[in-house]
Structures are given as C-alpha cells and as structure tokens.
Amino acid sequence: MALIQMTGDEGWWSRTITFGDQIFSARCPKCARFVRVDETAKVWTERAGVAEPNATCAKHGRVETPFLDWAVI
C-alpha cells in the first residue's frame, strides 16, 4: 500500500481521476453523483483499488472511488 499524489485536473467536468498509475471514477459508487476527491489517497500497489475512503459525496459522506483502469505511461 502506498500514499499516492493525485495528478491531472479535477473539476466539475471530470469523470475520472488518477492516483499514480491507477484511474478511478470521480463519482459516488452509491448514487453516481460527482464527488470531491482528496489530494492524496492510499492505494493498493499489488492490486487495484483504494485502501480507504478517498472522496466526499454530498449525500453519502466519505466514499471510496471505484477503480476503472491502469494508466498507460
């Protein structure tokens, strides 16, 4: 597990966010609303996914953003 800094622009138009080489959806997994993503996140380096909640949904509070894909570097 590693603490990874967020890269890329994140705003109301964003649908994805990147932490290191992992891409996540910037939406709540429960209601699909856009979420405010933290600047850093603890992610699993040996498998895809976040280790703890890394975003805040206006309706559901702290949530884990869903993993989408690996970034091609």
Lowest-confidence range among 12-16, 30-34, 60-64? 12-16
- pLDDT tens-digit profile of 23-58? 888 889 999 898 988 887 787 777 777 888 989 999
pTM over 0.75: no
Arithmetic mean of pLDDT over the chain? 79
The pLDDT score that the predictor gives to residue 7 is: 55
Do residues 16 and 34 touch, judged by C-beta distance below 8 A? no
